[in-house]
Chains A and B, each alone.
Chain A
Amino acid sequence: MQDFVNQLKDALIKSSLELDSSVINLIKKAKEREEKELSKNSKASLVVLNSILENLELSKKTKIPMCQDTGMFDVFVDIGRDNKNSLATIEKAIIKSCTLASEEGNFRKSVVSEPVFDRVNTKTNLPPIITYNIIDGDELTVRVLLKGFGSENCCGVKMLNPTAAKEGVVEAVLDIVKTAGGKPCPPICVGIGLGGTMERAAYLSKRALIRDFDKENLDKRYIELEEEILRKINDTKIGSGGFGGVTTALFVNIEQEPTHIAGLPLAVSINCWADRKAQITYRGKIDD
């Protein structure tokens, strides 16, 4: 089990210190766009973007997490039908990895054991949220979001009418993003889940957030919808830091699935610019 645990633990700690180069490039592009603007809003947003880039260099160098909210472990497991590991072993290995990453990575202990009455801190940053998904093949892929709650608090679900069409989807997403405003640490990352049931749409919205950067929608209409929504979110001029610049979102991803004739479930997951993701693919057997 040690090999798997070390791989996942190292990926988790690294994700708290460094962003994927594709996200850093999107932040740099946002900076270039803001530099061309002359408004006070853009100047303030530019200060934020420069601070973000300085912060990323510091976290890489000092090993201090880029953000104090090292989040809840939001774990998405894809298990190939021919994979030889039992669910129990996989779960045990994931929990061990999260436990060690929290300790060795100096993650903030941000989890309480019960939501309403006592809210006692578990002092371990556990339990993780784990969702399992069965896929073809023999691989085991584990993707983890270090999900901060400044942005998680801004997520939303809306059960649209089946006739709402593209216009209804765009309007509902913009509603959620505008309500979030400057709260979730813009520039934000937006995952949209469409179809399924209420909870499936929410799951899909997170799958959209953690989608591999080199993967795009197979259906061209959804690629165009992602581009349209990204453009319209940036037109809101919420801006980096909420200061009103020209970049509010870095990317918009959509995942969609079959749904019922009577509905069009929609969910929006928002992540802050600190889009921290860990991912490992494991082919072998995780020994106990």
Chain B
Amino acid sequence: MINLELPLTKDIIKSLEIFDEVRLNGELYVARDQAHKEMFSLLDNNKDLPFAIKDQAIYYMGPSPAPNNFIIGSCGPTTSARMDAFSPRLLDLGLNVMIGKGPRNKDVINSIIKNKSIYLAAFGGCGALYNSKIKKVETIAFDYLGPEALLKLTVEDFPCIVAIDSRGNSVY
């Protein structure tokens, strides 16, 4: 078990290998399909992204509503492959870590190698488990997208497995 503090440095990323079990601590951003589309629309119009993406982590997730006395609802990962078309450009802009579930395509793997970044797999369907790891939730942008809004989370002991390491090795 490896405990990691976000944001991850390139040295830390380099030291991680596929199948390593990690626990994330600190801040990460949440974006899925429509938030990626909106971010691309900003970039295409030469506008800034809603957050400084360099060295950051994006978690592919869309939560269920928070019940009373909770800050967020169920919040497990969504299928990463749907974000494959978007990821290389964001990695080129300095995104360091992607977190989701399931395999990525060749373009993403090549971009991971080029940018020395990393892909972590969270455990699909485990939304109640991940709920217990979230300490703070902040909406950053695209509020109108409802469950697909761009969020910033503070997480503690957030469990993942290294699925594609910075050398392009993959568990899939």
Question: Taking beta carbons and an 8 Å cutoff, which residues of A are in contact with B?
Answer: 40-41, 43-44, 47-48, 51-52, 54-56, 58-59, 62-70, 106-110, 119, 121, 123, 148, 150, 153, 181-185, 241-244, 272-274
- Given pairs A58-B129, A59-B127, A108-B65, 18 additional interface contacts (CB within 8 A): A41-B19, A52-B126, A56-B128, A58-B132, A59-B128, A68-B64, A68-B73, A106-B64, A108-B74, A108-B147, A110-B62, A148-B125, A150-B102, A181-B103, A183-B103, A241-B101, A242-B172, A274-B125
Interface centre among A64, A181, A273 (most CB of B within 10 A): A64
Whole-angstrom distance between the Cβ of B158 and the nearest chain A Cβ: 12
A56: which B residues are within 8 A, CB to CB? 128
Cα–Cα, bound, A148→B62 (Å): 13
**B63→A68 contact, CB < 8 A:** yes
Whole-angstrom distance between the Cβ of B20 and the nearest chain A Cβ: 10
A272: which B residues are within 8 A, CB to CB? 124-125
Contact residues of B between 121 and 172, Cβ < 8 Å to A: 121, 123-129, 131-132, 146-147, 159, 161, 171-172
Cα–Cα, bound, A107→B65 (Å): 7
**A66→B125 contact, CB < 8 A:** yes
**B64→A55 contact, CB < 8 A:** no
**B19→A55 contact, CB < 8 A:** no
Contact of A150 (CB < 8 Å), options: B66, B124, B146: B124
Using CB atoms, name the residue of chain A closest to B80: A183
A55: which B residues are within 8 A, CB to CB? 76, 123, 125-129
A40: which B residues are within 8 A, CB to CB? 19
B79: which A residues are within 8 A, CB to CB? 150, 153, 183-184
Given A44-B161, A108-B64, A150-B79: A185 touches B131 (CB 8 Å cut-off): no
**B73→A185 contact, CB < 8 A:** no
A185: which B residues are within 8 A, CB to CB? 101-102, 124-125
**30 A-B residue pairings within 8 Å (CB atoms):** A47-B123, A48-B123, A51-B123, A52-B123, A54-B129, A58-B131, A62-B131, A62-B132, A63-B67, A64-B70, A64-B128, A65-B127, A67-B125, A68-B62, A68-B64, A68-B76, A68-B127, A69-B62, A69-B78, A70-B64, A108-B62, A109-B65, A119-B34, A150-B102, A182-B101, A182-B103, A241-B123, A242-B102, A242-B172, A273-B125
Cα–Cα, bound, A52→B79 (Å): 17
A110: which B residues are within 8 A, CB to CB? 62, 147
Given A108-B64, A108-B74, A183-B81: A43 touches B123 (CB 8 Å cut-off): no
Interface size class of B (residues with CB under 8 A): 35 or more
B76: which A residues are within 8 A, CB to CB? 55, 67-68
Cα–Cα, bound, A70→B129 (Å): 15
B102: which A residues are within 8 A, CB to CB? 150, 181-185, 242
**A68→B172 contact, CB < 8 A:** no
**B125→A52 contact, CB < 8 A:** yes
Cα–Cα, bound, A130→B132 (Å): 35
B161: which A residues are within 8 A, CB to CB? 44, 47, 241, 243
Whole-angstrom distance between the Cβ of B64 and the nearest chain A Cβ: 4
Cα–Cα, bound, A250→B126 (Å): 17
**A64→B147 contact, CB < 8 A:** no
B24: which A residues are within 8 A, CB to CB? none
B112: which A residues are within 8 A, CB to CB? none
Cα–Cα, bound, A242→B146 (Å): 29
Cα–Cα, bound, A185→B67 (Å): 25
**A68→B74 contact, CB < 8 A:** yes
**B78→A242 contact, CB < 8 A:** no
Whole-angstrom distance between the Cβ of A109 and the nearest chain B Cβ: 6
Cα–Cα, bound, A52→B161 (Å): 14
Q: Does B98 contact A (CB under 8 A)?
A: no
